[in-house]
């Protein structure tokens, strides 16, 4: 939002509407990322358990073997989790911006 003069209530409300539209689209993207993470995490955990249970040796050796065998699924799960967390932060940032604009809008309204 750029301006050259005093901020008006209309400007604030337009920015709120823009951010609400963005919040809606980001929420839909968050849903897809959450589903993707859930699938990758469930696959990784079940595959890890199979490898762990089929391995021989001490507990540490079995854990190391399962980690070794599942490098790519573990990586995929961690990446999906990171993307999900980043999107969650974006949503929180948008909500905070909207709240700040609502406060600003109330202040401008009280001055009119």
* pTM as predicted: 0.81
The arithmetic mean of pLDDT across residues 68-97, rounded, is 97
- Whether 16 is in a domain gets the answer yes
Which pLDDT value is given to residue 111? 79
The domain in which residue 71 lies consists of 9-111
- Whether 72 is in a domain gets the answer yes
- Whether 2 is in a domain gets the answer no
**Is it the case that residue 89 has pLDDT exceeding 80?**
yes
Q: What percent of the chain has pLDDT over 70?
A: 96
- Whether 1 is in a domain gets the answer no
Binned at pLDDT 50, 70 and 90, residue 2 comes out as low
State the residue for tokens 């079995």.
62
- Whether 37 is in a domain gets the answer yes
- Whether 4 is in a domain gets the answer no
- Whether 52 is in a domain gets the answer yes
> Which tens digit of pLDDT belongs to each residue from 41-61?
999 999 999 999 999 999 999
**Is it the case that residue 74 has pLDDT exceeding 70?**
yes
Closest CA to 76 of 108, 104, 106, 48: 48
Structure tokens at 62: 């079995």
- Whether 3 is in a domain gets the answer no
The arithmetic mean of pLDDT across residues 27-41, rounded, is 98
Cα dist from 25 to 29, 88, 92, whole Å: 6, 13, 14
> What's the rounded Cα separation, in Å, for the pair 98 and 76?
33
Instruction: Please tell me the total count of domains within the chain.
Output: 1
């Amino acid at each position: 939002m750029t301006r050259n003069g005093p901020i008006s209530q209309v400007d604030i409300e337009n920015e709120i509407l823009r951010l609400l539209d963005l919040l809606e689209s980001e929420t839909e993207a968050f849903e897809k990322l959450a589903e993707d993470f859930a699938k990758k995490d469930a696959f990784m955990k079940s595959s890890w358990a199979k490898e762990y249970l089929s391995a021989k040796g001490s507990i540490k050796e079995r854990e190391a073997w399962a980690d070794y065998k599942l490098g790519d699924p573990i990586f995929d799960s961690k990446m999906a989790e990171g993307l999900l967390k980043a999107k969650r932060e974006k949503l929180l940032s948008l909500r905070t911006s909207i709240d700040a604009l609502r406060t600003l809008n109330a202040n401008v309204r009280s001055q009119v």
